[in-house]
Amino acid sequence: DGNIADGQAKSSSCAACHGATGKASNALYPNLAGQNEAYLALALHGYKNGGRTGGQAGVMQAFTAGLSDQDISDLSAFYASQKP
Amino acid sequence: DGNIADGQAKSSSCAACHGATGKASNALYPNLAGQNEAYLALALHGYKNGGRTGGQAGVMQAFTAGLSDQDISDLSAFYASQKP
């Protein structure tokens, strides 16, 4: 399962666009705070394996390429835990 | 610009998965309540034009195929206006 504290520690790259508290810095990007953990994991795996395209998928594919399954679980747990 | 009331009137198909109040019925689907309006519009246009793939994109492409630009603006305004 995902570890919230570990997810926070791994989220520095995410925060530039999605915000340190999961509120996006630009309205064209999604807020992540309080999003469903399973959906977040599905999205990250989809970017990593190339199955998800559209929007900023190119950027997201680069950011997710080096993530392990545990990293994805931790990041998903962290953002899901934040207050929207 | 999007009209919230018109968006609500057009949201019945969306509600089965994303909830009448923007809280998804299944954790594999995203909550939409309070999501950024511009992001929601980008996502809907992406599904409609086929540029966005992954996850439930096949279902979303079918649901968005008949939406006009105004429909997309209205639905985006409606979900963005809901309390997360």
Q: CA angle A42-A47-A50, nearest 5°?
A: 115
pLDDT digits (tens, 9 = 90+) for B45-63: 999 999 999 999 999 999 9
| B17 in A contact zone (CB under 8 Å) | no
Domain boundaries, chain B: 4-81
Residue A22 near residue A33, CB atoms below 8 Å: yes
Q: Do B36 and A46 touch (CB under 8 A)?
A: no
Phi, psi of B7 (to 5 degrees): -65, -45
Q: What share of chain A in percent tops pLDDT 90?
A: 99
Residue A79 near residue A33, CB atoms below 8 Å: yes
pLDDT digits (tens, 9 = 90+) for B5-31: 999 999 999 999 999 999 999 999 999
Question: Complex ipTM above 0.90?
Answer: yes
**CATH architecture of structural domain B4-81:** Orthogonal Bundle (1.10)
pLDDT digits (tens, 9 = 90+) for A16-29: 999 999 999 999 99
- The candidate with the shortest Cα–Cα distance to A82, out of A66, A14, A56, is A14
C-alpha R_g of chain B = 11
A63 pLDDT band, cuts 50/70/90, is very high
For testing contact with chain A, the best of B39, B44, B49, B81 (most A CBs within 10 A) = B39
CA distance A63 to A3: 19
Residue pairs between chains A and B whose CB atoms are closer than 8 Å? 73
Look at residue B53 and give its three-state secondary structure: strand
